């Protein structure tokens, strides 16, 4: 097992961590076995939350007696001071410890939540600072979905020491390009959730196998993890695991090489076929196989902008920011079709570019 420094926390964490969200569907016996195997295999970073059902209690029961062997991160969804203090005390009790290594603000995914939790002076961040001073928690982190604005705010803040982000081969939130490099440059430890698409990409292989018994470990999950592990801006990836089999397989994967170009392409194709499942219905996965375009058209960025604009869940400011970084827009496309042949997701690129000219122009003129 290799270890990375978790940003300015200075903690040396296993680059394969353990996401503990799935325990509510498992028996204590299986969870105890999985967590102990993880520790025996060198995993020393476990992530849970007040909101993950019995997860904290199950961890406490399974491995509290080995407390000096691991770092524990948990989180609260509360934004108010009193409620967060209460959550911290409950977490300590559930985890059977007197110290939590990282306490995180959970899913601060819009400006309103940021203002309540971070800016109000009486929010959950203040509760964490007080708990830190009282010696109950070591470091303060934040987890964010969708709001690139909040992610950028977190990278500028000096209080947060870790940031948890959704990142995988589909990179629906543009985190690989926009946030991870910046966060690691700013000294934040980067914790990657949803490397397997929240489990959706683990369905690809079983669907391929149909009714046949699955004879071997899931090669799609393996590739998904290798993709994330190869990114130097990632401190630790925390796949959700729930039994010893998954732990053993993922530990084996951790020491494998990054994806070869052919494997990367195959993974893109498989995930591309399933993109109907993707939350933002965004089919372009930013692999850049379509580049270079002979006319210099910046295809992936343009398609990213158009996908952001279509999504109800992503703020238009994100689209404007990506659009404004494009020098060679969709109007330069001459429809030669070269890019279509290269695209593993089967996107009709010239059609989308032509269709999106006006929308794209509008987006790039909206930058603040």
Ligand X SMILES: NC(=O)c1ccc[n+]([C@@H]2O[C@H](COP(=O)([O-])OP(=O)(O)OC[C@H]3O[C@@H](n4cnc5c(N)ncnc54)[C@H](OP(=O)(O)O)[C@@H]3O)[C@@H](O)[C@H]2O)c1
CA distances from 289 to 168, 341, 346 (A): 17, 10, 12
Judged by beta carbon distances under 5 to 8 A according to partner kind, the member of ligand X, ligand SF4, none in contact with residue 19 is ligand X
Judged by beta carbon distances under 5 to 8 A according to partner kind, the member of ligand SF4, ligand X, none in contact with residue 300 is ligand SF4
Of the candidates 64, 91, 102, 84, the one whose C-alpha atom is nearest the C-alpha of residue 236 is 102
> Exactly one of 221, 244, 267, 320 binds ligand X (CB under 6 A); which one?
221
Judged by beta carbon distances under 5 to 8 A according to partner kind, the member of ligand X, ligand SF4, none in contact with residue 339 is ligand SF4
> Exactly one of 152, 277, 342, 357 binds ligand SF4 (CB under 6 A); which one?
342
For residue 203, cis peptide bond before it (omega within 30 degrees of 0): no
Q: How far is the CB of 350 from ligand X (least distance, A)?
A: 33
Q: How far is the CB of 302 from ligand SF4 (least distance, A)?
A: 9
Question: DSSP letters of 251-276?
Answer: HHHHTSPPPPHHHHHHHHHHHHHTGG
List, in order, residues 6 or more apart from 325 with CB less than 8 Å away: 301
Interacting positions 285-324 with ligand X (CB under 6 A): none
Q: How far is the CB of 115 from ligand X (least distance, A)?
A: 19
Q: Give the whole-angstrom CA distance, residue 103 versus residue 49.
A: 9
Of the candidates 294, 282, 367, the one whose C-alpha atom is nearest the C-alpha of residue 326 is 367
Q: 85 or 193: whose CB is closer to ligand X?
A: 193
Judged by beta carbon distances under 5 to 8 A according to partner kind, the member of ligand SF4, ligand X, none in contact with residue 307 is none
- The answer to whether residue 202 forms part of the interface with ligand SF4 (CB under 6 A) is no
Tell me the window of 5-13, 64-72, 173-181, 344-352 that interacts with ligand SF4 (CB under 6 A).
344-352
Q: Among positive and negative, which fits the CA dihedral 49, 51, 55, 61?
A: positive
Judged by beta carbon distances under 5 to 8 A according to partner kind, the member of ligand SF4, ligand X, none in contact with residue 159 is none
Question: 160 and 141 in contact (C-beta within 8 Å)?
Answer: yes
Judged by beta carbon distances under 5 to 8 A according to partner kind, the member of ligand SF4, ligand X, none in contact with residue 60 is none
Judged by beta carbon distances under 5 to 8 A according to partner kind, the member of ligand X, ligand SF4, none in contact with residue 193 is ligand X
Strands (E) located in the chain: 3-5, 12-14, 18-19, 45-47, 71-76, 100-105, 137-143, 162-166, 189-193, 236-237
SS3 169: coil
Judged by beta carbon distances under 5 to 8 A according to partner kind, the member of ligand SF4, ligand X, none in contact with residue 293 is ligand SF4
SS3 57: helix
Q: 21 or 339: whose CB is closer to ligand SF4?
A: 339
> Exactly one of 14, 282, 286, 305 binds ligand SF4 (CB under 6 A); which one?
286
What are the phi and psi torsion angles at 162 (to 5°)? Answer: -135, 155
Size, binding site for ligand SF4 by CB under 6 A = 28
SS3 16: strand
Question: 14 and 45 in contact (C-beta within 8 Å)?
Answer: yes
Site string for ligand SF4, 104-133 (x = CB under 6 A): ------------------------------
Tell me the window of 130-138, 237-245, 297-305, 321-329 that interacts with ligand X (CB under 6 A).
237-245
Q: Give the whole-angstrom CA distance, residue 153 versus residue 127.
A: 20
Max Cα separation, the chain? 66
Q: Give the whole-angstrom CA distance, residue 253 versus residue 247.
A: 10
Q: How far is the CB of 93 from ligand SF4 (least distance, A)?
A: 48
Q: 243 or 328: whose CB is closer to ligand X?
A: 243
List, in order, residues 6 or more apart from 300 with CB less than 8 Å away: 284, 286, 287, 288, 290, 291
Interacting positions 287-316 with ligand SF4 (CB under 6 A): 287-290, 293-295, 297, 299-300, 303
Q: How far is the CB of 19 from ligand X (least distance, A)?
A: 2
Q: Which residues bind ligand SF4 (CB under 6 A)?
A: 284-290, 293-295, 297, 299-300, 303, 333-339, 342-343, 345, 347, 349-350, 353
Q: Which residues bind ligand X (CB under 6 A)?
A: 19-22, 47, 106-107, 143, 145, 164, 193-199, 202, 218, 221, 238-242, 246, 249-250
């Amino acid at each position: 097992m290799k270890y990375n420094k978790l940003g300015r926390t200075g903690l040396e964490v296993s680059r394969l961590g353990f996401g503990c969200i799935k325990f509510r569907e498992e028996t204590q016996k299986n969870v105890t076995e999985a967590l102990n195997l993880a520790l025996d295999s060198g995993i020393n970073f476990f992530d849970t939350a007040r909101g993950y059902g019995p997860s904290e209690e199950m961890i406490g029961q399974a491995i509290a007696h080995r407390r000096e062997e691991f770092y524990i991160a948990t989180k609260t969804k509360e934004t108010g001071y009193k409620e967060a203090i209460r959550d911290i005390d409950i977490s300590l009790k559930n985890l059977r410890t007197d110290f939590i290594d990282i306490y995180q603000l959970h899913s601060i995914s819009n400006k309103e939540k940021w203002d309540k939790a971070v800016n109000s002076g009486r929010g959950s961040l203040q509760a964490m600072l007080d708990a830190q001073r009282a010696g109950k928690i070591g470091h303060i982190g934040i987890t964010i979905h969708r709001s690139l604005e909040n992610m950028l705010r977190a990278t500028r803040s000096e209080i947060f020491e870790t940031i948890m982000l959704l990142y995988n081969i589909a990179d629906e939130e543009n985190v690989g390009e926009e946030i991870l490099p910046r966060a690691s440059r700013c000294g934040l430890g980067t914790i990657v959730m949803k490397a397997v698409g929240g489990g959706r990409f683990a369905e690809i292989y079983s669907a391929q196998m149909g009714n046949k018994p699955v004879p071997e470990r899931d090669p799609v999950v393996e590739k998904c993890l290798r993709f994330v592990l190869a990114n130097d801006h990632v401190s630790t990836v925390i796949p959700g695991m729930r039994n010893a089999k998954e732990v053993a397989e993922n530990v084996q994967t951790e020491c494998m090489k990054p994806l070869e170009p052919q494997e990367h392409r195959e993974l893109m194709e498989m995930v591309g076929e399933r993109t109907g499942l993707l939350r933002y219905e965004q089919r372009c996965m930013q692999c850049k196989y379509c580049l270079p375009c002979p006319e210099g058209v910046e295809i992936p960025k343009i398609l990213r902008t158009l996908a952001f604009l279509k999504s109800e869940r992503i703020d238009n400011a994100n689209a404007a920011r990506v659009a404004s970084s494009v020098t060679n827009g969709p109007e330069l496309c001459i429809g030669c079709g070269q890019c279509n042949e290269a695209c593993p997701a089967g996107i009709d690129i010239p059609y989308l570019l032509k269709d999106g000219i006006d929308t794209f122009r509008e987006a790039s003129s909206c930058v603040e």
